[in-house]
């Protein structure tokens, strides 16, 4: 008796939930940079709010009060972006008919749906960006459609292993045999 093949372990940060006719792939946005930015995000929101309450006796048309309000708004936006990176997850709900891409729980982009009958191939593409002389390499999953249009299905800070596994899971659900990665 030959035992069933054991599936390779999932890459860190990726979860797969297989239902009857649907597979849900979830990948978190959290990384070490998010944790490093959390204290800065909290300070960016707390200092202007503290100054706002401290300077609340100044008239609203005072330039200092206006500056504190503007800095406070910028601090709150920065804090939201940091917290969003810590808690959000990209979900790809894959069925034989469509792939639905959503982000949450904190609002980000609207969900996108791709009809699978229009997909010709799936590809994993490297994405390289530079910052302060360093180079970061991430991998995105793209669908190339029969009409030549391309849709990015997964564009977070993913590793090659995560992107290849997402691509393989989508191919498994769609039963693509000739799809290149």
- Domain ranges, ordered by start, for the chain: 14-29+88-174, 34-85
Closest among 10, 11, 23, 25 to 158, alpha carbons compared: 11
State the Cα–Cα distance between residues 179 and 181, nearest whole angstrom.
Answer: 7
Over residues 88-94, mean pLDDT = 92
For the chain, what is the total number of helices (H) and then of strands (E)? Answer: 3, 8
| Residue 37 pLDDT grade (very low, low, confident, very high; cuts 50, 70, 90) | confident
Does the pTM surpass 0.95? The reply is no
Distance of CA 32 to the CA centre of its chain: 14
Class of domain 14-29+88-174: mainly beta
Over residues 163-181, mean pLDDT = 76
Task: Tell me what pLDDT residue 101 has.
Answer: 92
Distance of CA 35 to the CA centre of its chain: 16
């Amino acid at each position: 008796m030959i035992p069933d093949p054991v599936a390779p372990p999932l890459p860190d940060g990726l979860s797969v939930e297989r239902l009857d006719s649907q597979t849900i792939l979830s990948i978190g946005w959290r990384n070490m940079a998010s944790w490093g930015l959390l204290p800065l995000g909290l300070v960016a929101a707390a200092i202007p709010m503290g100054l706002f309450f401290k300077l609340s006796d100044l008239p609203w048309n005072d330039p200092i009060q206006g500056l504190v309000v503007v800095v406070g708004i910028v601090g709150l936006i920065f804090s939201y972006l940091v917290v969003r990176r810590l808690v959000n997850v990209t979900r790809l709900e894959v069925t034989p008919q469509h792939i639905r891409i959503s982000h949450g729980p904190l609002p980000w982009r609207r969900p996108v749906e791709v009809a699978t009958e229009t997909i010709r191939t799936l590809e994993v593409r490297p994405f390289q960006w530079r910052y302060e002389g360093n180079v970061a390499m991430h991998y995105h999953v793209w669908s190339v459609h029969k009409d030549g249009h391309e849709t990015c299905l997964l564009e977070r800070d993913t590793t090659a292993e995560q992107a290849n596994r997402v691509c393989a899971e989508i191919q498994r659900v769609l039963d693509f045999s000739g799809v290149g990665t």
